[in-house]
Amino acid sequence: MTKARVFTGVGTALITPMTEQGVDYDRFGPLIDWQIDNGVDALIIAGTSGEGSTLSDQEHKDVVEYAVKRADGRVPVIAGTGSNDTAYGLQLTRGCVERGADAVLVVTPYYNKATQDGLVKLYYDYADAAGVPVILYNVPSRTGVNIEPATYVRLAEHENIVAVKEANGNISKITDTMARTAGNLDLYSGNDDQIVPLLSVGGIGVISVLSNLLPRQTHDLVMAYLNGDTQTAMEMQFRYNDLVQSLFCEVNPIPVKAAMSYMGFCENYVRSPLYAMEGANAKRLRQSMRNVGIEV
């Protein structure tokens, strides 16, 4: 089965600039342009980093539509649409596709903890409803459920289920998945500290938080590996390791929102129940940014 490939390289899990009054489109547009001008291969809108879980239904669709129009075909725009309420998630998926999303990123249902059979049924429903490529998002640390390798085999049989953003952290299970799916499912790292390891077992890119700050460098890291320069890719993985750790010293997207505010791309504002970073962690983050040449 030949499937559509959404992108190769780096897809930025983009923040959504906000103020207390709502989405800050005056800053969102230039941020999208800056990302594309600096080499990203795709944009993920209204995912975890984009605070999709606290956007209203209208805001969610509006930010996707805005990003599609601003990107203007320069890179694919992927909408985060998963939910623990399947009916709502399907409605949101259809709405984002109607507004021009090139693909959707669908997280496993959180809190409800679906069974493996339940995940297959769920994702088939999303894939049928979307009519565009579906990227699975496996992040057990947030959702409490892991997509098992045998389940990926079943999911990969659907023509619209084309890839997975894998953030389970278990390299052995990821290797097993790639061996079992035999090239029928594209793999993106969902963890910035594991880009090179996942590329080494067949990955084609990363859906990245780091690339909010360093789009060109993250793109170059991936392409160095894919072009055979594994030494450079490894050195870059190590170079940015401390910054990656700082970007996850509090729950995402609190640190990346702070980092982007230091760079002038947004206010340091996140919606409740998140709370803006301050104190020792903010100091640590600023230093990590300076250490890799970001002026803050």
In a domain, 223, yes or no: yes
Task: Give domain status of residue 276, yes or no.
Answer: no
pLDDT for res 80? 98
Residue 272 gets which letter from DSSP?
T
Q: Which residues of 61-86 are buried (b: 16+ CB within 10 A; e: fewer)?
A: bbbbbbbbebbeeebbbbbbbbbbeb
User: Is residue 1 domain-resident?
Assistant: no
Please check whether residue 38 lies inside any domain of the structure: yes
User: Distance between CA atoms of 295 and 263, rounded to whole angstroms?
Assistant: 8
The candidate with the shortest Cα–Cα distance to 192, out of 242, 251, 266, is 242
283 is a catalytic site residue:
no
Tens-digit pLDDT profile for residues 91-138: 999 999 999 999 999 999 999 999 999 999 999 999 999 999 999 999
Choose the catalytic residue: 66, 137, 152, 225: 137
262 in a domain, yes or no?
Answer: no
The pLDDT > 90 percentage for the chain reads: 98
Q: Give residue 3's pLDDT.
A: 85
Give the pLDDT confidence of 169-221 residue by residue, as tens digits.
999 999 999 999 998 999 999 999 999 999 999 999 999 999 999 999 999 99
* Inter-CA distances, 183 with 2, 153, 159, 179, Å: 10, 11, 13, 8
Instruction: Specify the pLDDT at position 139.
Output: 96
Cis peptide before 273 (omega within 30 of 0): yes
pLDDT per residue as tens digits for the range 252-261: 999 999 999 9
Annotated catalytic residue, options 123, 165, 188, 240? 165
Please choose, from the candidates 18, 59, 31, the residue with its C-alpha nearest in 3D space to the C-alpha of residue 254: 18
- In this prediction, residue 204 carries a pLDDT of 98
pLDDT of residue 73: 98
Task: State yes or no: is 165 an active-site residue.
Answer: yes
Domain housing 71:
9-227
Which tokens go with 109? 């249902």
Residue 1 has pLDDT above 70, yes or no: no
Residue-wise pLDDT tens digits, 208-264: 999 999 999 999 999 999 999 999 999 999 999 999 999 999 999 999 999 999 999
Tokens for 90, please give them: 């399907």
What's the confidence (pLDDT) of residue 2?
78
Using omega within 30 degrees of 0 as the cis cutoff, is the peptide bond preceding 17 cis?
no
The structural domain count of the chain equals 1
pLDDT over 90 (residue 32)? yes
Task: State how far the Cα of 232 lies from the Cα of 55, in Å rounded to an integer.
Answer: 39
If one counts every other C-beta atom within 10 angstroms of the C-beta of residue 244, the result is 18
In a domain, 64, yes or no: yes
Query: Can you tell me the distance from the alpha carbon of 155 to that of 159, in angstroms, rounded to the nearest whole number?
Result: 9
Separation CA 206–CA 12 (nearest Å): 8
**Structure confidence at residue 11 (pLDDT):** 98
Domain presence at residue 118: yes
Instruction: Indicate whether 119 belongs to any domain.
Output: yes
Question: From CA 128, how far away is CA 209, in angstroms rounded?
Answer: 29
**Which CATH number do you get for residue 133?**
3.20.20.70
pLDDT tens for each residue of 40-71: 999 999 999 999 999 999 999 999 999 999 99
